[in-house]
Amino acid sequence: MDASAHQFKRNVHAQLGNEALQANLRRFGGGFADRRRDAVGRVNDFEVLRDRAAEIRAEVLQNLDHWLLAFEAEAQRRGTHVHWAETGAEANQILLDIARAAGVQRVIKSKSMVSEESGLNVVLGAAGIEVTETDLGEYILQLADEPPSHIIAPAIHKSRDEVSALFAQHHGTPRTRDIPALCEEARQHLRPRFLQADMGVSGGNFLIAQTGSVAIVTNEGNGRMVTTLPRVHVAITGVEKVLPTLDDLAAILRVLPRSATGQDITNYVSLLTGVRDSDASDGPQENHVILVDNGRARLLGGPLHDALRCIRCGACMNHCPVYQNIGGHAYGWVYPGPIGAILTPAFLGLDKALDLPQASTLCAACEVVCPVRIPLPELMRTLREQEMEQGLRPWHERLSIRLWRWLALHPRLYGFASRWGVRALRALAGRDGLLHRLPGLDGWTEGRDMPAPQGQTFRDQWAARQAQQAQTNALLVARRQAAQAGHRHD
Ligand code: SF4
């Protein structure tokens, strides 16, 4: 997938000015967040489940090589071919070789974020192989020629009218606003593709080392048809997705759907193991798993290590006030929201996604809901520090941080400067007490007003409070002493 993360600010301006998108985002609003809250409320102690999920993911990452090799051995024993790809391009080439060797003409796909990373559809298309996305959201986006904007609801940025117009254009059908009718229309168009395809390509939510299985967690039946109808199946997934046992999968499944869509369990949880038995009526005759690194291994043991715990539930973006206002496309690559603000610079390079770690108020809503307790704000702060250390931020930003640091090391001067700063801000405010424009900080005030600070600075308030406390303490001591003196006199 082409990345535009380097022009994040330009993307944001475009998305904020896109009225249709803004209306769709408002409609989406807190839907997933509300459902998550209700789902979490239905279990006894969700925090214990989160602890267990985080622990499982952390332990796997400590011994990732061991568990990957265990998965490979078990998958091979059951007839699955396991391939290793260092980059997205390598993964595409492996898949293309498999397709050519098997004489594949038509591919059907279910949702795979790793194949978005590698730009697989473009490569297959260029090789003359027809690719059809079969997840409803992905199918809509394939018709619209757009990338996903959310990791679990890829077409969340589209309204029913937009989908209806798209279907009318591509299917030659009358427009309808009836969502079940739109789903049925997509089903009618997809069904023959399922039956004609020679190869199914899926992602993999998890890899189970104990059984050599690929686990797929989904709400649409397309995942099962993609993985069982065509004679060849290829799962393409990141190397960090391995889990030791089925019990671990069960523990993770207690937090994943609740965090993602607010469901106790998704409609389908599929475990794909090996190839079709000789007497079975479905299942692939040839089964492959491509394990893709694409930048993951270099995060292991480093400051961004914890980001690899991610189980792609989407809760962080569903609760992020920044994502809720700009949508997923502004982030400029496969992964949007808080986790995207970490993974995109980590995978593509910090200089290619310079503004993403800044795209957060550090309110920590993402950390509060992350089912595997990834310290997302801390990781964003780490990336910000790296940007400073590597001199990647603009000169004026570096200069102001240096100035601030110098002032912070000189408390008297800091107090003096902040007192004058507060006065200046108050003088610049309008009659409504709001700052509509800040000289030199137009980017801040362009889309929002800021309340001018009222009263004293924090330091002055703190000092006054301390003085008052000291006075109260002195009074109490004096009263106690007076009382004791009275007793002695009696
Ligand atoms: S970072 Fe956490 S909340 Fe965000 S997608 Fe990953 S697991 Fe879910």
Predicted confidence band of residue 258 (pLDDT cuts 50, 70, 90): very high
Mean per-residue pLDDT of the chain? 94
Measured from CB, residues less than 6 Å from any atom of ligand 1 are: 310-316, 339, 370-372, 374
Percent of the chain with pLDDT over 70: 99
Report how far ligand 1's centroid is from the alpha carbon of 61 (Å): 16
**What is the spatial distance between Cα 408 and Cα 415, in angstroms, rounded to a whole number?**
9
Average pLDDT for residues 136-160, to the nearest whole number? 95
Average pLDDT for residues 443-469, to the nearest whole number? 86
Predicted confidence band of residue 490 (pLDDT cuts 50, 70, 90): low
Q: Are 272 and 347 in contact (CB under 8 A)?
A: no
Tell me, what amino acid is at 279?
D
List the residue whose alpha carbon is closest to atom 8 of ligand 1.
Answer: 313
> How many CB atoms lie under 10 A from the CB of residue 363?
13
Residues 6+ apart with CB under 8 A from 287: 79, 80, 81, 232, 233, 272, 274, 275
Percent of the chain with pLDDT over 90: 84
Residue-wise pLDDT tens digits, 220-257: 999 999 999 999 999 999 999 999 999 999 999 999 99
Average pLDDT for residues 260-274, to the nearest whole number? 96
**What is the spatial distance between Cα 306 and Cα 304, in angstroms, rounded to a whole number?**
6
3, pLDDT greater than 90: no
- The whole-number pLDDT of residue 488 equals 72
Residue-wise pLDDT tens digits, 163-211: 999 999 999 999 999 999 999 999 999 999 999 999 999 999 999 999 9
Average pLDDT for residues 275-282, to the nearest whole number? 90
Considering the segment(s) 5-299 as one domain, its CATH architecture is: 3-Layer(aba) Sandwich (3.40)
84, pLDDT greater than 70: yes
Please tell us whether the domain made up of 305-392 is placed in CATH 1.10.1060.10: yes
Q: Which atom of ligand 1 is nearest to 260's Cα?
A: 8
- The whole-number pLDDT of residue 111 equals 93
Pocket perturbation via mutation, ligand 1, pick of 240, 312, 320, 334 by most ligand atoms within 8 A of CB: 312
Domain ranges of the chain: 5-299, 305-392, 396-451, 458-490
268, pLDDT greater than 90: yes
489, pLDDT greater than 80: no
This prediction's pTM? 0.90
- The whole-number pLDDT of residue 242 equals 98
- The whole-number pLDDT of residue 168 equals 96
Q: Which atom of ligand 1 is nearest to 376's Cα?
A: 1
Predicted confidence band of residue 408 (pLDDT cuts 50, 70, 90): very high
